[in-house]
Amino acid sequence: MALDPTKHPDWQIAEDAETRMKTVYQLAEDLGLQKDELLPHGHYVGKIDFKKVLNRLGNKPDGKFVDVTAITPTPLGEGKSTTTIGLVQGLGRRGKKVVGAIRQPSGGPTMNIKGSAAGGGLSQCIPLTPFSLGLTGDINAIMNAHNLAMVALTARLQHEANYNDERLAKSNLKRLDIDPRKIELKWIMDFCAQSLRNIIIGVGSKMDGYLMESGFAIAVSSEIMAILAVSTDLKDMRERMGKIVVAYSRSGKPVTTGDLEVDGAMTAWMVGALNPNLMQTVEGQPVFVHAGPFANIAIGQSSIIADRIALKLADYNVTESGFGADIGFEKFWNLKCRFSGQIPNAAVVVATVRALKCHGGAPIPVPGRPLDPCYTQENVGWVEKGVENLVQHINTVKKAGINPVVCINAFHTDTDAEIKAIRRMAEAAGARVALSKHWLSGGDGALELADAVVEACNEKPHFKFLYELETPLRQRIEMIATQVYGAQGVDYTPDALVKIKAVEEDAELSRLGTCMVKTHLSLSDDPKVKGAPKNWRLRVRDLLIYRGAGFVVPIAGDIKLMPGTSSDPAYRRVDVDVETGKVKGLF
CB 293 within 8 A of CB 103: yes
CB 94 within 8 A of CB 281: no
Residue 114: active-site member: yes
Contacts of 222 (CB under 8 A, 6+ apart): 142, 143, 146, 188, 298
Cβ neighbours of 9 (radius 10 Å):
17
Residue length, the chain? 587
Half-sphere exposure of 9 (CA within 13 A, CB side): 10
Q: How far apart are CA 320 and CA 117, in angstroms?
A: 11
How do residues 17-72 score in pLDDT, each as one tens digit? 999 999 999 999 999 999 999 999 999 999 999 999 999 999 999 999 999 999 99
**pLDDT at 163 (0 to 100):** 87
Q: How far apart are CA 208 and CA 210, in angstroms?
A: 7
How do residues 214-242 score in pLDDT, each as one tens digit? 999 999 999 999 999 999 999 999 999 99
CB 493 within 8 A of CB 554: no
Q: How far apart are CA 110 and CA 112, in angstroms?
A: 6
Task: From 279, 253, 277, 278, select the one nearest 125 (Cα to Cα).
Answer: 279
Whole-number Cα distances in Å, 164 to 158, 169, 205: 12, 9, 18
**pLDDT at 162 (0 to 100):** 87
Q: What are phi and psi of 387, to 5 degrees?
A: -65, -20
Among the listed residues 11, 191, 439, 551, the single catalytic one is 439
SS3 at position 122? coil
Three-state SS annotation for 45-65: CEEECHHHHHHHHCCCCCCEE
pLDDT average, residue stretch 496-505: 95
Residue 11: active-site member: no
Among the listed residues 216, 288, 323, 339, the single catalytic one is 323
Percent of the chain with pLDDT over 70: 100
**pLDDT at 323 (0 to 100):** 87
How do residues 388-442 score in pLDDT, each as one tens digit? 999 999 999 999 999 999 999 999 999 999 999 999 999 999 999 999 999 999 9
Q: Which amino acid is at 292?
A: G
Q: How far apart are CA 272 and CA 291, in angstroms?
A: 13
For residue 114, pLDDT over 80 is answered with no
Residue-wise burial string across 327-348, b where 16 or more C-beta atoms lie within 10 A, e elsewhere: bbbbbbbbbbbbbbebebbbbb
Write out the H or E segment, with its range, that includes residue 29. helix 24-31
Q: Which amino acid is at 524?
A: S
Report DSSP state, residue 483: I
Q: What are phi and psi of 219, to 5 degrees?
A: -55, -40
Residue 501: active-site member: no
Tell me if the bond preceding 563 is cis, omega within 30° of 0: no
Q: Which domains does the chain have, with CATH numbers?
A: 138-265 (3.30.1510.10), 473-556 (3.10.410.10)
| Average pLDDT for the chain | 94
Residue 295: active-site member: yes
Q: Measured on CA atoms in the order 326, 329, 334, 336, is the torsion positive or negative?
A: positive
How do residues 160-181 score in pLDDT, each as one tens digit? 988 888 888 888 888 999 999 9
CB 328 within 8 A of CB 297: no
Residue 333: active-site member: no
Mean pLDDT is lowest, of 333-337, 479-483, 579-583, for: 579-583
Q: What are phi and psi of 221, to 5 degrees?
A: -85, -5
Among the listed residues 64, 93, 96, 114, the single catalytic one is 114
**pLDDT at 165 (0 to 100):** 85
User: What pTM was estimated for this model as a whole?
Assistant: 0.94
Q: Are strands 403-409 and 346-351 parallel, antiparallel or unpaired?
A: parallel
Q: Which amino acid is at 147?
A: N
**pLDDT at 4 (0 to 100):** 92
Percent of the chain with pLDDT over 90: 85
For residue 367, pLDDT over 80 is answered with no
Among the listed residues 103, 308, 499, 541, the single catalytic one is 103
pLDDT-based confidence at residue 206 (cuts at 50, 70, 90): confident
Q: How far apart are CA 313 and CA 311, in angstroms?
A: 6
For residue 360, pLDDT over 90 is answered with yes
Name the region of 241 (left: φ>0; alpha: ψ -120 to 50; beta: rest): alpha
For residue 109, pLDDT over 90 is answered with no
Q: Which amino acid is at 153?
A: L
Residue 80: active-site member: yes
pLDDT average, residue stretch 462-471: 96
Burial of 68 (0-12, 13-18, 19+ CB in 10 A): buried
Task: From 270, 277, 302, 231, select the one nearest 39 (Cα to Cα).
Answer: 277
**pLDDT at 476 (0 to 100):** 97
pLDDT average, residue stretch 270-285: 98
Among the listed residues 229, 247, 295, 347, the single catalytic one is 295
**pLDDT at 366 (0 to 100):** 81
Among the listed residues 94, 411, 415, 482, the single catalytic one is 411
**pLDDT at 402 (0 to 100):** 95
